[in-house]
Amino acid sequence: MNFAVLASGHGSNLQAIINAARAGRIKADLKVVISDKKDAYALKRALRAKIPAIYINPHDFSDRESFDRALAGHLRKFKIDFVVLAGYMRLLSRYFIRQYPNKILNIHPSLLPAFKGLHGTKDAFDYGVKVTGPTVHFVIDEVDAGMIVLQEPVRIEAKDTLETLERKIHKAEHRIYPKAIDLFARGKLKIIGRKVAIV
């Protein structure tokens, strides 16, 4: 199977995915990395790994769907079977989601359904929970509400700061995201209503 990674920022999850694919721990081919940010370091990571890297300027489009139609066009050229979001900060349009139904994976830095939104780690830390951690889920029309694939609990210690917690969660993300991608690529995930079974 062929997959694409969409990223907007530094790309640490992308690097974990690249490393896992090179080591044979993801049985799928990463064909292209696409960003909506010209200076996204994720693009440099892709080029360094000899993976095509594409920047699409959002200002060239009148609305989100127009952008996503162009994005889908690029993915078709690379014969992409499924899509992985790695720090991609644009909301996907309903049009795009319908092009890849139950074929878009995302990772969120909290144990969903708790602490949805842009600041999942900070919100969990500020709330004072004792356990948080990342969630890999399918993308649906509703933000951070798709069916959950994998989660890894991360304990918040009394000595933790927001920065140390973020580092712990990133390490957990780098463990579970490549695993979830590989499970999907090998046809090991079965969606049953709201639940995802590993078969």
Report the amino acid identity of residue 66. S
Q: Nearest-CA neighbor of 85 among 156, 153, 5, 8?
A: 5
Q: Nearest-CA neighbor of 139 among 195, 186, 101, 180?
A: 101
Distance CA 16, CA 173 (A): 9
Q: What is the DSSP letter of 118?
A: T
Distance CA 1, CA 124 (A): 36
- Determine whether 137 is an active site residue: no
Active-site annotation holder among 10, 59, 74, 108: 108
As annotated, the active-site residues are 108
